[in-house]
Structure 1
Amino acid sequence: FKPIVGMLSDRYGRRIFFFVALLLFAGFPFLYRFVHTPDQLVWLRVLHGTATAIFGPVTLAIVTEMSTQSRGARLGLFEMARGSGHLIAPAVAGFILAWSSPEVVFTVVGLLSCAAFVPALFVRFDESRREAVDRTGFFAELVDGVKHAATRRELWFVGVLEFAIYGSIYSLKAFLPIFALEAGYGVWAAGLFFTFQEATHLLVRPFGGRLGDRRGYAPTIAFGLMAIGGALVALPAAPNAGVLLALAVVVGIGQGLTFPSTVALIGNRIAVNHIGMGLGFYGALRNGGKVTGPIIVGALLQVFAAKLVFPGLGIAALLVAAALLILAAPRGRVQTP
């Protein structure tokens, strides 16, 4: 759904989709108290997911369009704020569940989502560029947007790259706890691994974005991949929980260096009237990695030991990093429509 929403926001502006997503985020949580069967839950989750599909590409496009300067740093700060919610929310929900019911948790989620309308009223939407672009028919513009996105090699490269990275990261989330128990690290080490990883990731993001703005996005992405790949190669050989947690920090550094530069690179190589479509396409590829990565790695773990699978993922990341440094992907600025 993300590429279509991105294209629609390119055509009709970001404002309407931004507030539609907020309405969905604010409204759906109050419906969970009426769920009584698994089927009802599945359908409500599908509908709730449309809010994420809208909000993701639209907010990235808004931040990207603020200026052509310092895009990486700006995107790093934005993702740092968004990721902080991912860190804090589960702990808050767990605390509420300790003394109340899941229905109360979702009610709190709905109220917090309603509170988001206050800062949303101060968001500025730059519609001048879209107003200056000649509009064709809806389907003609859809075809033009798909054709433009499909012919951007940077978009494909970055999208496939993030597909692989997120596939690896989400595979770690799925299987590292099992590996940690089998290796004797303990449950606490598996839990702290992801806390250390995500906290480091969020702290490094603004620095990684600024580094990409100043030194080039391709080299910054390459160094991030080296950190992730090296940590994955070393992970199965970690002699104790302390080293395991140190590797979690290295993975977080790699993520913080890589992700702001990948989005900024797309923003600099997509025509201004197709930024929403391009970022939606990129988001779809990235989420595809989240979905398929654990399935693929799970199948590999049925055949090979974890001490072979995780280093294999790391070596693949190191090879991509080497290719990036050798090929030196273009660092061009924003293209005209």
Structure 2
Amino acid sequence: MRVLVTGAAGFLGQAVIAALLDRGHEPVAFIREGGRLPRQQVESAIGDVRDLESLRAVVQSVDGVCHLAALTRVRESFAGPLWYWRTNVLGTLNLLEVLGRKRPEPARLVLASTAAVYGTPETQPISEDAPIAPTNPYGATKAAADLAAANVAATGRLGAISLRAFNIAGAVDGHPDRDFTRLIPKVLAVQAGLAEELGVNGDGTAVRDFVHVADMAHAFVLAIEACTPGEWRAYNVGSGRETSINDVLAAAEQITGRPVRIKRNPPANEPRVLLADSRRIREELGWQAPNSDLSQILSDGWKALTSAYAAPE
């Protein structure tokens, strides 16, 4: 299958391209002008999801799309909500417009969605039946993109799946996550001497759900293969493992052999627990998370980061 990958130059995008290649598919990397090319030797196309014409030119030649291009930082979305709506929602609408046009066979679309669409539900772990109640602009834009895809899929013009990721980390093919606003990349950056310290809100007992980027990428492959014309489905993607911030710190210290320099901040207004109920994707698509043990996530991330940057003695 010939599959366009938007956001192909990013951390997850490169992992998805690798997973598609491993499965025998033909990925096409969609990157912005001046963007970094994927490490893999694959066909690429230059454009921007906010530019309808650049999408129209490439979408005609593919069977489906893994749509990863988006802005993804929660705190940043509060400062620039319109920027997030233009990129995450307008970009998705443009893609739906070109995919929804008459084709010999209906197109397939897999969207990179997020657990942020659920907000902070009290019931844990979170299932796909939980109410959609985002508490930040980022989550709101992703919820809107999911709904738009569901509406277009209902016309029969395409089949769509939204993968609602929890916390993605680790590394594939030595490609580190350079977004140091995320917990695990920031911890590893501190250990590598690329950041001064890690801010920890409260006592570090908040629990999160981490999934290895390789396992997340495999979910995209299974999803693009499972898209059914006229249908939209949402799947949560998480390991289901309860991991506290303190667990991450302890594992990072063990793997890197040095203490993590932290700064204790007052408790933040954030949920104590966020866990994925991923039974639906396991049962319906056969997805598993064999790489999502915390030690492997951190080890892979550490090896990739220290190979990309000169680690201190």
TM-score class, shorter: under 0.3
Tell me which protein shows more strand as a share of its residues: 2
TM-score by length of structure 2 reads 0.25
TM-score by length of structure 1 reads 0.24
Higher relative contact order (CA 8 A, sep 6+): 1
